[in-house]
Amino acid sequence: MIKETNKLDSMCGVSDEELTLRFHEAVRIANEIKKVKGVPIAKFDKKTRKAYLEYPDGRREYE
């Protein structure tokens, strides 16, 4: 028999909104680290609907 738990119990008391905020912050920090190291960041251009690499100097290379 499976014991029912509410949504917050299954996520250790963290709400969906909080998880989303934490995820976005983790991605932002990872991108900042990549910039400092000089590593390109994979991004998506919503206007052209194409993926590209953005280098720390601002240059973009579309795939």
Q: 38 in helix, strand or coil?
A: coil
Residue spans per domain, the chain: 11-62
Over 80: is that where the pLDDT of 15 sits? yes
Q: What is the pTM of this model?
A: 0.66
Q: What is the pLDDT of residues 24-59, one digit of tens each?
A: 999 999 999 999 999 999 999 999 999 999 999 999
Enumerate residues 6+ apart whose C-beta is below 8 A from 31.
Answer: 41
Q: Are 63 and 50 in contact (CB under 8 A)?
A: yes
